[in-house]
Chain A
Amino acid sequence: DADVTQTPRNRITKTGKRIMLECSQTKGHDRMYWYRQDPGLGLRLIYYSFDVKDINKGEISDGYSVSRQAQAKFSLSLESAIPNQTALYFCATSNSYQPQHFGDGTRLSIL
């Protein structure tokens, strides 16, 4: 089983819909992160959480929200999806400044 699991792996939806991407981990890490990957732009941080009660905005948080339901679960929501949110989304986990471990990604297409 994967240490960092993202669901769904692929999603196609329409503009204006609410979307939730989920991430769960079995690594016991305190820190969890959401990134989006766009061609030529690398990975950009959307939100991050250092523990259940700590949520922080990343560099591109507008249009997104998150929930840290438990140490092992961190979900990302798009309240009203728009086409320029079409991207590959990655969840990652880490302890302190140690290397981050990434999930397999969610490919999201918004029509």
Chain B
Amino acid sequence: AQSVSQHNHHVILSEAASLELGCNYSYGGTVNLFWYVQYPGQHLQLLLKYFSGDPLVKGIKGFEAEFIKSKFSFNLRKPSVQWSDTAEYFCAVNALSNTGKLIFGQGTTLQVKP
């Protein structure tokens, strides 16, 4: 079965630290990849997406992610986090042969200390 794995469940960083959240998926075909963010008490919002082309994609709020096909990975990065980045982050995969359904990872809770 297709699955998405986020390696870090809870990350605590100080402001200005660099962030990298891991995401791996298990599917050998063509995929669309997403990172969503959920701020406390809010709904999920799209951070960035990869459909095709340049494997390094830039999203909102200074986030970026790199698709490495050989590693089935789509890691999220930010050079310098802010307190306002405190949220839960979800990686999601849309296998194009899977009728467009999104498979979500378990989520990573990021806590940024001021």
How far is it, in angstroms, between the C-alpha of A55 and the C-alpha of B106 when the chains are bound? 25
Residue A94, interface by CB 8 Å: yes
* Partner of A99 from B9, B49, B105 at Cβ < 8 Å: B49
Determine, out of B14-22, B61-69, B94-102, the stretch whose residues face the partner at the interface. Answer: B94-102
How far is it, in angstroms, between the C-alpha of A34 and the C-alpha of B51 when the chains are bound? 23
Decide if A103 touches B43 in the complex (CB within 8 Å).
yes
Could you tell me the distance in whole angstroms from the C-beta of B63 to the nearest C-beta in chain A?
15
Decide if A42 touches B107 in the complex (CB within 8 Å).
yes
Decide if A45 touches B102 in the complex (CB within 8 Å).
yes
Decide if B100 touches A96 in the complex (CB within 8 Å).
yes
* Partner of B100 from A40, A44, A94 at Cβ < 8 Å: A94
Residues in A with CB closer than 8 Å to B105 are 42
Residue B84, interface by CB 8 Å: no
Residue B44, interface by CB 8 Å: yes
Known interface pairs A40-B9, A42-B107, A43-B90; A48-B43 also in contact (CB < 8 Å): no
Report the count of interface residues on A (CB-CB < 8 A): 25
Decide if B107 touches A58 in the complex (CB within 8 Å).
no
Residue B72, interface by CB 8 Å: no
Could you tell me the distance in whole angstroms from the C-beta of B1 to the nearest C-beta in chain A?
9
* Partner of A97 from B36, B46, B96, B104 at Cβ < 8 Å: B96
Residue interface mask A55-93, B partner, CB < 8 A = 1: 010100000000000000000000000000000001010
Residue B74, interface by CB 8 Å: no
How far is it, in angstroms, between the C-alpha of A45 and the C-alpha of B99 when the chains are bound? 13
Decide if B43 touches A97 in the complex (CB within 8 Å).
no
Interface set of B (CB-CB < 8 Å, partner A): 4, 6, 9, 32, 34, 36, 42-46, 49, 51, 90, 94, 96, 99-102, 104-107
Interface set of A (CB-CB < 8 Å, partner B): 31, 33, 35, 40-45, 48, 50, 56, 58, 90, 92, 94, 96-97, 99-105
Known interface pairs A40-B107, A94-B100; 18 further A-B residue pairs with C-beta atoms within 8 A, sorted by A's residue number: A31-B100, A33-B102, A40-B9, A42-B6, A43-B44, A50-B99, A50-B100, A56-B99, A90-B43, A90-B44, A97-B100, A99-B49, A100-B102, A101-B46, A102-B44, A102-B45, A103-B43, A105-B43
